[in-house]
Structures are given as structure tokens and as C-alpha cells.
């Protein structure tokens, strides 16, 4: 059986205070509808993280998954870059 493609996002870890969960902020640039200026918009995702070595400031890749809790629908795929 073929599985559908899952969404992936790259973002920065803003919180690792929960057990087995991280909060990842994904930033994107959106053009303002009237003024035409590009504005930074941020979306936060709660992601399942069984790896305890992830810290705030790390750049990570997350992938969409089935609902794991009330807010968690993403899971950690890989740590791209560690915080300096």
C-alpha cells in the first residue's frame, strides 16, 4: 500500500521544557496584501522528540504524523544544526 507524502518543515527549537516534546518555530516571508512589503510570520509546532539531546536554538527538520496528543501532530526527523 502506498503512503501519501508527508509535509516537512525546517525550524528553530524555541522550547524543550516538556517531556518528549519540543516546540519548533517555523518562519516564512509573506507579502503584505496592500503595501507589498515582505513580513516575517512565525508558526509554532509541537513535535514529538524522543531524542533528549535537542536544545533551544537548534535547527531541526520535523515531519507531519498522526495526532499524538491534543496539540502534537509533528515529529522530529533530524537535527540539522546545533545552537552555537
Note the pTM of the prediction, 2 decimals: 0.88
CA distance 79 to 64: 16
Across residues 16-33, what is the average pLDDT? 96
3-class DSSP state of 8: strand
Is 49 exposed, middle or buried, given 0-12, 13-18 or 19+ CB atoms closer than 10 A? buried
**Domain annotation for the chain: domains and CATH numbers:** 8-81 (2.40.50.140)
pLDDT at 59: 97
Q: Say how many C-beta atoms besides its own lie within 10 A of residue 26's C-beta.
A: 15
Cell numbers representing residue 32 in the block: 503584505
Residue with cell 536544545: 55
Residue-wise pLDDT for 26-84, tens only, equals: 999 999 999 999 999 999 999 999 988 999 999 999 999 999 999 999 999 999 999 88
Amino acid at each position: 500500500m502506498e503512503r501519501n507524502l508527508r509535509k516537512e518543515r525546517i525550524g528553530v527549537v524555541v522550547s524543550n521544557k516538556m517531556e518528549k516534546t519540543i516546540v519548533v518555530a517555523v518562519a516564512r516571508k509573506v507579502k503584505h496584501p496592500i503595501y507589498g512589503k515582505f513580513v516575517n510570520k512565525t508558526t509554532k509546532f509541537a513535535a514529538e522528540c524522543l531524542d533528549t539531546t535537542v536544545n533551544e536554538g537548534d535547527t531541526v527538520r520535523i515531519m507531519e504524523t498522526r495526532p499524538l496528543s491534543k496539540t502534537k501532530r509533528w515529529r522530529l526527523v533530524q537535527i540539522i544544526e546545533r545552537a552555537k
